[in-house]
Protein backbone atom coordinates (compact mmCIF):
# COMPACT_ATOMS: atom_id res chain seq x y z
CA UNK A 1 0.00 0.00 0.00
CA UNK A 2 2.73 2.47 0.94
CA UNK A 3 4.77 1.91 -2.20
CA UNK A 4 2.03 1.10 -4.70
CA UNK A 5 -0.73 3.51 -3.76
CA UNK A 6 1.00 6.24 -1.77
CA UNK A 7 4.24 6.33 -3.80
CA UNK A 8 6.44 6.24 -0.69
CA UNK A 9 10.03 5.43 -1.64
CA UNK A 10 11.18 1.90 -0.72
CA UNK A 11 14.14 3.17 1.30
CA UNK A 12 11.75 5.30 3.37
CA UNK A 13 9.51 2.29 4.03
CA UNK A 14 12.54 0.25 5.12
CA UNK A 15 13.59 2.98 7.53
CA UNK A 16 10.04 3.26 8.94
CA UNK A 17 10.02 -0.41 9.94
CA UNK A 18 13.54 -0.34 11.37
CA UNK A 19 15.46 -1.94 8.49
CA UNK A 20 18.42 -0.77 6.48
CA UNK A 21 17.42 0.60 3.08
CA UNK A 22 17.63 -1.94 0.25
CA UNK A 23 19.50 -1.20 -2.93
CA UNK A 24 23.08 -2.14 -2.28
CA UNK A 25 26.03 -0.11 -1.15
CA UNK A 26 25.06 3.06 -3.01
CA UNK A 27 21.67 3.37 -1.35
CA UNK A 28 22.95 2.37 2.08
CA UNK A 29 25.87 4.78 1.90
CA UNK A 30 24.37 7.86 0.23
CA UNK A 31 20.69 7.94 1.12
CA UNK A 32 20.22 9.32 4.60
CA UNK A 33 17.62 7.77 6.94
CA UNK A 34 14.45 9.81 7.21
CA UNK A 35 14.08 11.95 10.30
CA UNK A 36 11.18 11.94 12.76
CA UNK A 37 9.36 14.79 11.02
CA UNK A 38 9.44 12.95 7.70
CA UNK A 39 8.25 9.75 9.40
CA UNK A 40 5.43 11.65 11.04
CA UNK A 41 4.36 13.14 7.70
CA UNK A 42 4.28 9.70 6.10
CA UNK A 43 2.23 8.23 8.96
CA UNK A 44 -0.27 11.09 8.77
CA UNK A 45 -0.95 10.18 5.14
CA UNK A 46 -1.49 6.45 5.72
CA UNK A 47 -5.10 5.33 5.63
CA UNK A 48 -4.91 2.26 7.85
CA UNK A 49 -8.43 1.23 6.85
CA UNK A 50 -7.08 0.50 3.36
CA UNK A 51 -3.87 -1.19 4.47
CA UNK A 52 -5.01 -3.26 7.48
CA UNK A 53 -8.04 -5.52 7.70
CA UNK A 54 -8.96 -4.79 11.31
CA UNK A 55 -11.69 -7.43 11.22
CA UNK A 56 -9.02 -10.13 10.96
CA UNK A 57 -7.24 -8.99 14.13
CA UNK A 58 -8.23 -11.12 17.08
CA UNK A 59 -8.67 -9.64 20.54
CA UNK A 60 -5.81 -10.41 22.89
CA UNK A 61 -7.02 -12.92 25.47
CA UNK A 62 -3.87 -13.82 27.40
CA UNK A 63 -3.09 -10.60 29.21
CA UNK A 64 -3.82 -10.43 32.92
CA UNK A 65 -5.79 -7.21 32.43
CA UNK A 66 -8.00 -8.53 29.62
CA UNK A 67 -11.71 -8.16 30.24
Is residue 40 assigned to a domain? yes
CA distances from 64 to 57, 58, 60, 61 (A): 19, 16, 10, 8
Is residue 25 assigned to a domain? yes
Is residue 51 assigned to a domain? yes
| Residues in Cβ contact with 14 at an 8 Å cutoff, skipping those fewer than 6 apart | 20, 21, 22
pLDDT, one tens digit for every residue, the chain (67 residues): 777 888 888 878 887 777 776 666 666 677 777 788 888 888 888 777 777 788 888 777 776 665 5
> What range defines the domain where residue 19 resides?
10-56
**Whole-prediction pTM:** 0.51
Q: Could you give the CA distance from residue 21 to residue 5 in angstroms, rounded to a whole number?
A: 20
Instruction: Count how many domains the chain has.
Output: 1
Is residue 23 assigned to a domain? yes
Amino acid sequence: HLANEMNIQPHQISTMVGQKPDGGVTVQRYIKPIDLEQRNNILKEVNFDKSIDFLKIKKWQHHRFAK
